[in-house]
Amino acid sequence: MTATTATPAQTRAKSAWWTQLWVWVLIAMALGIVLGIAAPDFAAKMGPLGDAFIKLIRMLIAPIIFCTVVTGIAHMADMARVGRVAIKAIVYFEVMTTIALIIGLLAVNILQPGAGMNVDISKLNPAVVEPYVKLTHEVGAVPFLMNIIPGTFVGAFTEGNILQVLFIAILCGFALVWLGARGKPLVDMIDIVAKMVFFIVGLIMWTAPLGAFGAIAFTVGKFGVGSLASLGKLLIGFYATCIIFVVVAFAPLARLCGFSLLKLVRYIKEELLICIATTSSETVLPRIIAKLEQLGCEQSVVGLVVPTGYSFNLDGTNIYMTLATLFIAQALNIPLTLEQQLVIVLVAMLTSKGASGITGAGFITLAATLTAVDPRLVPGMAIVFSIDKFMSENRALTNIIGNGVATVVVAAWEGELDRDRMKAVLSGGDMHLTLPEPSGAAAD
């Protein structure tokens, strides 16, 4: 499915600031913060609003990935090209993931946020983190690969495992390429289903401000701000490290591909605000796919790179795992050797992918990493539990920026990037995303 282009009349009608989704999301977030401070008990009851919005989007993730990947591969009609794009994307993901892990490792060793806390492990409450530990998965290449294969064809969709849906979609796409003209009616039908699903997304996105209000009000009302003072160094360090990573790793790539990283961030500002409010990058996956197509990235490249990136390119999650692991070790006075720290890098590269598609994946992957590195560290998860909600916001932000940059880079690498179109969009010439409107009057 390609993003449609707004007519001049539509663009003028929607140019007023009060009609922009990001404005209403920002207002809703501000109101949520005010309510959380003024009436924390009442604000804590607003959580279901945010949860409902996340569930509405998540119910569409599997069909969106399936339809986007299948039609993308089918329209390529060249298995060699599909494989080439996939290999380039995976190589890019692994390189950037490794850089993220190393930067996180350097930052926590320099900042030493947990040093001097001298936490008594016997006074920690293991019940707080027990649910996450139970959900940890086996670490290793074989368990990771086995987890990609669903128990049943339908099971991949019902369980919401992104990797499994991606696996099924790739197989179906290749099968339709092999069928050729005989498979065209099914490809057309899947394309229609994709348009229907994106129309539903257009409807649901009107509830984004309500979801943002509920999520922010709940977070501020339940956790507050004053209680975070003792863990502020870790929180600030994490945000600073992610900013450094984005500037150091992405800005040079953006320059090489001929676009401004700041302009790209401005272009996806609505999605970033929704990520902050919902602490989940999944909630904006449909919009990111549409926006990157509108930006000038070829549809089939977007269809392969974005869904794959949601499992393999989690830069923010990887930075979080290295920082949190060493922070816990420092707080508990459990020294980790250089060899153990390198093990963290290797283990995190697998655990971050294996928990893809699971609710609370960041905390679950942390539990899996700690278990593999040194089981004595697992109870220390209780130390960071109170601020994990705030850290997950930045994980989502970094992940979504990383996947946006990755798609443009791979498209440019493959020669499937309309550079003139990209420059026009990022310069503000066509900044409006034309997802179908609730009225049904979608642009042609």
pLDDT along the chain (444 residues), means of 10: 43 57 83 87 87 83 85 75 84 91 90 79 64 56 73 80 82 88 89 87 85 83 59 82 93 91 92 82 85 90 86 86 89 85 82 55 74 81 74 86 94 91 82 44 34
Q: Nearest 5°: phi and psi at 266?
A: -65, -40
- The total of structural domains in the chain comes to 1
Please check whether residue 144 lies inside any domain of the structure.
yes
Q: What is the number of H-type helices and E-type strands within the chain?
A: 22, 0
Question: Any idea what DSSP says for residue 125?
Answer: -
Q: 148: which 2 tokens?
A: 């990609």
Residue 1 pLDDT = 45
Please check whether residue 354 lies inside any domain of the structure.
yes
Please check whether residue 74 lies inside any domain of the structure.
yes
Please check whether residue 193 lies inside any domain of the structure.
yes
Residue 438 pLDDT = 36
pLDDT for 390-440, tens place per residue?
A: 788 788 889 999 999 999 999 999 888 999 999 999 987 555 555 543 333
Question: What's the domain range around 100?
Answer: 38-426
Please check whether residue 320 lies inside any domain of the structure.
yes
Please check whether residue 25 lies inside any domain of the structure.
no
Please check whether residue 24 lies inside any domain of the structure.
no
pTM summary value: 0.76
Query: Which CATH number goes with the domain that contains 393?
Result: 1.10.3860.10
pLDDT for 264-289, tens place per residue?
A: 999 998 889 888 877 777 788 888 99
At 179, the amino acid letter reads: L
Please check whether residue 11 lies inside any domain of the structure.
no
Instruction: Judge contact between 286 and 383, C-beta under 8 A.
Output: no
Residue 227 pLDDT = 45
Residue 297 pLDDT = 93
Residue 62: name the closest of 153, 145, 166, 148 by CA: 166
